[in-house]
């Protein structure tokens, strides 16, 4: 991509945001779940020399081992004040936001009757409210400049549902409804909104799953990687005549659900 890219990720550890610049455009990406942000931001960064990273908690030094300008901030996308401050800092240091990818995602697997209210709220706040807050913040600039592209990362579970993941399914299904409604709201402003819906992706969130057993239900016979999701996100960001679309990236898993 020959544009400035702002990527924001929300994972189990917190929120990570990256931004790279090639010209005058900027993209915002929000979390793929624990473990995914780093390789995803690496792929998006490869096409542009400027990167911004924001983490709710810094577990280790951020080092992309590349040349270019870097900016590290702390942000929790589920907190309105954090989001607003982060966008102000990003625009101050890196310029306008033209693209947004929200990949926020945490999961607390459990049957609904065994799920406590705190776990319900944490999933809804991170997976849905966080994306709403970052979308709203990005739109303030996008509407003024009459251009922009947003990709929200959902889940195939948000489309099909899954036992033991009723709250997670609701949060990701809600993200689809939100994205389609928003696509209608901002289309006349030349702003596009789409969704990527991954299946099983190699992240910290899935590392303890029985991969050998689960991949038997995936027609392509493997888990996906963050790169698979990143490529789909970039495709939607760069497709000028696509809006309100849900692109499933699951190796065919939905065919067996």
| Gap between the Cα atoms of 1 and 46, Å rounded | 9
CA distances from 242 to 8, 15, 77, 116, 193 (A): 22, 28, 26, 39, 8
| Among 9, 99, 168, 178, the one annotated catalytic | 168
Give yes or no: 168 in active site. yes
Closest to 198 (Cα-Cα) out of 160, 237, 242 = 160
What 3-state class would DSSP assign to 75? coil
Burial class, 111, CB count within 10 angstroms (exposed 0-12 / middle 13-18 / buried 19+): exposed
Token pair listed for 122 = 């944490």
Which residues are the active-site residues? Answer: 168
């Amino acid at each position: 991509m020959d544009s400035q890219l702002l990527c924001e990720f929300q994972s189990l550890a917190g929120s990570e945001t990256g931004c790279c610049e090639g010209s005058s455009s900027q993209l915002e990406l929000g979390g793929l779940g624990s473990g995914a942000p780093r390789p995803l931001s690496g792929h998006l960064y490869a096409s542009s020399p400027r990167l911004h990273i924001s983490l709710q908690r810094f577990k280790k030094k951020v080092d992309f081992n590349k040349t270019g300008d870097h900016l590290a901030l702390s942000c929790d996308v589920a907190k309105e004040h954090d989001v607003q401050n982060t966008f102000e800092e990003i625009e101050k240091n890196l310029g306008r936001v033209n693209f947004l990818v929200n990949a926020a995602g945490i999961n607390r697997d459990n049957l609904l009757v065994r799920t406590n209210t705190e776990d319900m709220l944490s999933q809804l706040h991170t997976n849905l409210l966080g994306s709403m807050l970052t979308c709203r913040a990005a739109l303030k600039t996008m509407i003024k400049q009459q251009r922009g592209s947003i990709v929200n990362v959902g889940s195939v579970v948000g489309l099909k549902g899954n036992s033991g993941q009723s709250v997670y399914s609701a949060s990701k299904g809600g993200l689809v409804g939100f994205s389609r409604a928003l696509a209608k709201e901002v289309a006349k402003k030349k702003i596009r909104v789409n969704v990527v819906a991954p299946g099983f992706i190699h992240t910290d969130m899935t590392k303890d799953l029985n991969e050998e057993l689960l991949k038997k239900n995936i027609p392509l016979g493997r888990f996906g990687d963050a790169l698979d999701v990143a490529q789909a996100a970039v495709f939607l960001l760069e497709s000028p005549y696509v809006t309100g679309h849900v692109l499933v990236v699951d190796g065919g898993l939905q065919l067996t659900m």
